[in-house]
Amino acid sequence: MSRSIATRTGDDGTTSLLYGQRVPKDHPQIEALGAFDELNAALGLAKATCPSPEVRVELERAQTDLIALMGELACAEADQARYLASTFVRLDDAALARLDAGVAAIEAQAPSFAGWATPGANVHAAALEVARTVARRAERRLCGLPAHGRSVRPLLMRYTNRLADLLWLMARRAEQG
């Protein structure tokens, strides 16, 4: 017997966090998770349009990092100790260092910033810009969680901010071919 994606448990407007706690689908934590899910999909589009194997690997690494970030965000505040004791992969300082290295590498190439306000020089650059704007939305949702009682590790905020910076620089590089 196969299992269906249509569990019908969300028909009442609720969804589950990592360890089963039910919350409304418009809960701030779910909004943040949804924004990061959209970012993951936008990175997938940027990856699919990318002519460079090296950049595709970099984008895929960011997607892997986002999966770890989303796992941490999917846990209720009350279940943080349980999450920390689990074997789930967590975002670490090395992930942030990879983004910082990516930013430094592109900045060392001194890309032109001309035309940055009107994206669309090519499909790949436009896909990176969409990913960047979704990253900024995810960042805003993440930064809003403490006001709703959900603590956020500072590393997650730094990572999200830096990822958006890197995507902006990648788009500048992509515009120039």
Q: Of all residues in the chain, what percent carry a pLDDT higher than 90?
A: 76
Does the domain at residues 15-175 carry the CATH identifier 3.30.470.10? no
CA-angle at 54, arms to 101 and 66, nearest 5°: 65
Rounded Cα gap, residues 41 and 49, in angstroms: 13
pLDDT digits (tens, 9 = 90+) for 29-46: 999 999 999 999 999 999
DSSP sequence for 42-68: HHHHHHHT---HHHHHHHHHHHHHHHH
**pLDDT grade, residue 119 (50/70/90)?**
confident
Q: Would you say residue 95 has pLDDT above 80?
A: yes
pLDDT attached to residue 1: 60
How far apart CA 174 and CA 177 sit, in angstroms, is: 5
Q: Mean pLDDT over residues 131-145, rounded?
A: 98
Mean local confidence (pLDDT), 83-109 = 95
Strands in 43-159 per DSSP E: none
Question: How buried is 16 (Cβ within 10 angstroms: 0-12 exposed, 13-18 middle, 19+ buried)?
Answer: middle
More confident residue, 90 or 7: 90
Is 44 or 15 the better-scoring residue by pLDDT? 44
Domain extent listing, the chain? 15-175
Q: Are 162 and 98 in contact (CB under 8 A)?
A: no
